Amino acid sequence: MKKLLCIFALMAMAACGKDDPEPTPSGSIDVTGVSVAPTEVSLVAGETAQLTATVAPGNADDKSVRWSVAPEGIVTVSSTGSVTAVATGQATITVTTTDGNKTATATVTVIDTELHSDLKDGQVLLYKKSTRPKEVPLVFMGDGFTADHMAPDGKYMRVMSARIDAVFKVEPFKTYEDYFTVYIVGVVSNKEGVSIGGELTVDTALGVSLGFVQDNEAILRYANKTPVTGDSGAIIVISNTMNDQQMMCWGLPGDYWKGGGLAVIGMNIDYNENLSARNDYNATLMHEIGHAFGWLGDEYVNDPGRGPTADENNTLNFMHESGRYHNISMTDDPAEVPWAHLIGHPNYSYVGMYEGAEYLGKGRWRSEQNSIMRDQWTSYYFNAISRELIVKKIMKIAGEEYSFEKFVEKDRP
């Protein structure tokens, strides 16, 4: 009987231990998470990028991972996280740990550099790419263009190409061209043309009405289709205006999108081609980019006999404090103006004090007699302080240290 009891006891002990989990080896360290860098990548077909997975904790016993991609056909990913762009579109790369199945993701966007068929609504085209480690992005899009305008050699691409090329013929954008990456976003409207007078009478995708009205939510939605992840230079909207009366343009300095401003240009390429004697389109384009990118103020005068009110002085003070309108001063003291360091400099003997700016004939000063911010119709000349402010912005976005000495060395009036 004692023997049978012992056998039953041993069998019971074996049965109890049968489903118990294997004990964790003493001192083993499990994986608690994983991250991937970078988390956003933009490529053109054929380019590659390396993703790096970091397993936590760093002393985990099993830090092995596997990589996957969805949907397939846009990029491929190797067992080491090397990504190769195959076709335009957006894909999600997932890294998964062997221990614990912890995951992290990265988004890869593959964009076109050439247009082989009609540009689609929301499609992003890489027009030019920066050669610098960190790009300065400009995003161009149009309003009032229909599907009939979207062929590779159609009106939309002719307008965008002509306007982008014009930017880099003007200093300092010409000298610093290699810093810029330029995207074109396809925007297809139901109707051709744009509204006027602030009323929305034409069914367009971006809701531009020549009266300082635009659909900001729509503009930002299209801009966010680009792979821009850092600071932006500016968004430039070209509206498909239909006649000589629709020439209103405006620029919004400040943080409209990712640290950059907005310029809306109310003219089209056919207008310029039909009236070839007039060159005001590109001058006005650059004037508005001066607002949107350089955060510059207007230097022209609408009211020659008037000085500023207290409210207008408060507004300019606010602009200065927020980094805007430093090409304009409310003081006539040469030692206190934003361009004081240029006055008397041997390279800038033409810089001084000129009364009349920001629409007022009195109580506002500018640094030179003429500038594109004063003459927005025929001038292609940014004055010295404006060029410096633009270069400072380029350096800031590019993550490079600004040097006045280097600015002077490269400056081309």
41's CB contacts (< 8 A; 6+ apart) are: 49, 51, 83, 106, 107, 108, 109, 227
- On the question of a common fold for 33-110 and 124-292, the answer reads no
CB-based contact 104:34 (threshold 8 Å): yes
Q: Which CATH number applies to 124-292: 3.40.50.2000, 2.120.10.30, 2.40.10.10, 3.40.390.10?
A: 3.40.390.10
pLDDT at 268: 55
pLDDT at 21: 46
Judge whether residue 12 has pLDDT over 50: no
pLDDT at 374: 94
pLDDT at 355: 97
Quick one: average pLDDT of 166-192? Answer: 96
- Kindly state the tokens that stand for 347: 């390279």
Domain boundaries of the chain, sorted by first residue: 33-110, 124-292
pLDDT tens-digit readout, 337-348: 999 999 999 999
Does the CA dihedral 396-397-401-404 come out positive or negative? negative
Higher pLDDT, 198 or 83: 83
Quick one: average pLDDT of 268-292? Answer: 67
pLDDT tens-digit readout, 147-170: 999 999 999 999 899 899 999 999
pLDDT at 275: 41
pLDDT at 267: 65
Q: Can you tell me the distance from the alpha carbon of 303 to that of 371, in angstroms, rounded to the nearest whole number?
A: 18
* Nearest Cα residue to 60 out of 26, 99, 21: 99
pLDDT at 78: 95
Higher pLDDT, 386 or 8: 386
Mean pLDDT of the chain: 87
Judge whether residue 16 has pLDDT over 60: no
CB-based contact 327:386 (threshold 8 Å): yes
pLDDT tens-digit readout, 86-141: 888 889 999 999 999 999 999 998 887 788 789 999 999 999 999 999 999 999 99
pLDDT tens-digit readout, 54-93: 999 999 999 999 999 999 999 999 999 999 998 888 899 9
Quick one: average pLDDT of 384-391? Answer: 98
Q: What is the largest CA-CA distance in the chain?
A: 122
pLDDT at 17: 46
The mean-pLDDT minimum among 155-169, 241-255, 302-316 falls in 241-255
> 33-110 adopts what CATH topology?
Immunoglobulin-like (2.60.40)
Residue with tokens 């004939």: 361
Confidence of residue 397 (pLDDT cuts 50, 70, 90): very high
pLDDT at 13: 44
